[in-house]
Amino acid sequence: MRVAIIGGGPVGLVSGAVLAGVGHEVRVVDIDPVRTGKIALGEAPFHEPGLPELLRSVVDAGRLTATGVAAEAVVDAAVILICVGTPPTGSGADLTALRAASAEVARALRGASGYRVVAVKSTVPPGTTSEVVEPILREHSGLGADSLGVGMNPEFLREGVAVDDMRAPDRIVLGISDDRARAALESLYAPFGSPMVFTTPTGAEMAKYASNALLSTLVSFSNEIAAMCESVADADADAVLRAVHADRRFKGHAGRPDAPASITSYLLPGLGYGGSCFPKDTEALTAWARARGVASPILDAVRQVNAERPERVLSLLRARLQLAGARVAVLGLAFKPETDDLRESRSIDVARLLHAAGAEVRACDPVAADEGARMLAGVATVTADAESALDGADAAVLATAWPSLVALDPVRVRALMRRPLVLDARRALDSVTWGAQVEYLPIGRHA
Ligand SMILES: NC(=O)c1ccc[n+]([C@@H]2O[C@H](COP(=O)([O-])OP(=O)(O)OC[C@H]3O[C@@H](n4cnc5c(N)ncnc54)[C@H](O)[C@@H]3O)[C@@H](O)[C@H]2O)c1
C-alpha cells in the first residue's frame, strides 16, 4: 500500500519506518529540509533506539523516501497520515501546523481520481478532525466522501521504545465515519495483528487524551503520596508504592503472570511527568473541558501537583545546603532515558530554579547535551559526561535515570564532589550502596 506521512518527527518517522518495514511504500513529508535530507540518506534525525538500523534498511530497500513537497507524496497514496506537532499554547493545543498540513494535502489532491483516506495521527482536542480538519480537506480539495475518507488514528507509542511499540501496537484505535475508510485503515494495519478499537473520530481523539490523562494522574498520585511520606520519619514512598504494585490487579507483564505490569512504572515517587505529551495533553483536555463548562477537578490537581515537583527538589536541597553560591550538578536533562527530547523536561526546570536560587549549575546528559546547552545558555554549563558536572560539586541531583548515570560508582562520585550530597529525584539509585558512600537524599522519604 502507498502511504504518505506528513511530519517526520518521532511519531511520523517511526510510524513510517515501521510501516515500510512491513512492506508498505512510504513517503515522509517534512517542511524541515535538514530533516528530510537526513531521512533520505537513511539517517535518524533524533535519538531513538533501533531507528537508525530500521531506517537504513527501509531506505536502502527503496521502501521509504523523504520529500519537502506534499504533492509528490499524497497524489498516489491510498492512506495519508498527518503527524505534525500540536504544541501547547498555555491554554490548549496549537493547531497551526495541523491546519497548514491539512490545507497542503487538500490542495495537492484537487482533481485527483480514485479513493484515499486522510487520517489524523497528531494528538488533538476532541472534535478537531470533524470540525477543523475535514472542512479544510473538503474545501481545498473539492473532494466528497466518495473519493476522500477522513479518519482519526491516535498514536500511543512511547519515545525511547517507539520502534518496539510501533512494531507491536497494544491497540490500534480507528476513529472513522464510514466503512470504506475503515477498510483502508484496517488493511494498512493488518500486518500487525493487533487489537483494533473502532469508534468515531471524536471518540478516538478522546481515547488518546483519556489515556495520557490517566497515566499523568498515576504520576501525580504517586507524588502526592511521596510528599506525605516525606513528612513522617519512617515511611518510604518507594516501599509504600511497591506494596501497591504487589496487588495482583497490577500484575501480568510480557507473558509473566507474577511480574509487575509496566503501568507500575507510573506509580513511583519522582520528579513528575514531562515530555511532549502528558503536560500538553492534560493542559489541552482541561482547557477543552473548561470551554464547555465541564469541571475537571481531578486533572486540575494532577497538573498542580506536577507543576510543584521541581520546586520540591529545591526545598529538599535547601534543608541541607545554602543554594546561593553552591555548585550543583544536574544529572540528566532528557525528559526520560533513551530519548534526546527535552520538551517540558522537569530536569530543565530544576536547572533553571537552581540558577534562579543563585547556584552555579553544571548539567550533563549522554545524548541531549548540545540541545541542553542551547536551552540552558546563561543558566548552566552542559556536558555529555557526568564527571565534569560532578567535579567539585556541593550537591548532585539525579534528574533523569539514564542507565549510564544510574551505573555511576558512588565511590568515584564521592571522590569527585566537594560535598557528596546526592538527591535521587528518580529513586533509581540503590539506597544501601549509595547511602554507604554519600549523603544520600531520596525523594519520597523523610530527609
Ligand atoms: N512524541 C511522542 O511521544 C508522541 C506520542 C504519541 C502522540 N504524539 C503526538 O503526535 C504528534 C506529533 O508528535 P511529534 O513528537 O512527532 O511532533 P514533532 O513536533 O516532534 O514533529 C513534527 C514534525 O512535523 C513537521 N511539520 C510541521 N508542519 C508540517 C507541514 N505542514 N508539513 C510537513 N511537515 C510538517 C515538523 O517539521 C516536525 O519535523 C503530536 O500531536 C503529538 O502530541 C506524540
Out of 3.40.462.10, 3.40.50.720, 3.40.718.10, 2.80.10.50, select the CATH number for domain 309-447: 3.40.50.720
CA of 87 to the centre of ligand 1 (A): 9
Domain residue spans of the chain: 2-198, 200-307, 309-447
Average pLDDT of the chain to the nearest whole number:
96
**pLDDT band at 447, cuts 50/70/90?**
confident
pLDDT in tens, 138-173: 999 999 999 999 999 999 999 999 999 999 999 999
**pLDDT band at 78, cuts 50/70/90?**
very high
pLDDT in tens, 83-117: 999 999 988 999 999 999 999 999 999 999 999 99
CA gap 263, 210 in Å, rounded: 15
CA gap 241, 442 in Å, rounded: 14
Residue 254: phi, psi to the nearest 5?
A: 50, 45
Q: What average pLDDT does this structure show over 191-210?
A: 97
Indicate whether 254 pLDDT > 80: no
Residue nearest atom 1 in ligand 1 by C-alpha distance: 10
C-alpha cell at 57: 534498511
Report pLDDT for 258.
82
Determine the atom of ligand 1 nearest the C-alpha atom of 93. Answer: 41
**pLDDT band at 417, cuts 50/70/90?**
very high
Report pLDDT for 347.
98
Report pLDDT for 257.
79
What topology is assigned to 2-198 in CATH? Answer: Rossmann fold (3.40.50)
C-alpha 127: how far from chain center: 23
Q: What average pLDDT does this structure show over 54-81?
A: 97
Determine the atom of ligand 1 nearest the C-alpha atom of 12. Answer: 16
Report pLDDT for 145.
95
| 200-307: CATH superfamily | N-(1-d-carboxylethyl)-l-norvaline Dehydrogenase; domain 2 (1.10.1040.10)
Q: What average pLDDT does this structure show over 380-396?
A: 98
Q: Which of 15, 46, 84 is the pocket-test mutation for ligand 1 (most atoms within 8 Å of CB)?
A: 84
Q: What average pLDDT does this structure show over 411-416?
A: 98
Active site residues: 277
C-alpha cell at 244: 501497591
Decide: 410 in ligand 1 pocket, CB within 6 A: no
Residue nearest atom 31 in ligand 1 by C-alpha distance: 101
Q: Which of 14, 18, 30 is the pocket-test mutation for ligand 1 (most atoms within 8 Å of CB)?
A: 30
Decide: 31 in ligand 1 pocket, CB within 6 A: yes
Q: What sign does the CA torsion over 101, 103, 107, 113 have? A: positive
Determine the atom of ligand 1 nearest the C-alpha atom of 13. Answer: 16
Decide: 84 in ligand 1 pocket, CB within 6 A: yes
Same fold, 200-307 and 309-447: no
Indicate whether 177 pLDDT > 90: no
CA gap 200, 204 in Å, rounded: 6
Report pLDDT for 430.
97
Q: What average pLDDT does this structure show over 437-445?
A: 96
**pLDDT band at 302, cuts 50/70/90?**
very high
Q: What average pLDDT does this structure show over 392-397?
A: 98
CA of 131 to the centre of ligand 1 (A): 20
Query: 88: which DSSP letter?
Result: B
Q: What average pLDDT does this structure show over 424-435?
A: 97
Of 29, 24, 106, nearest to 72 by C-alpha is: 29
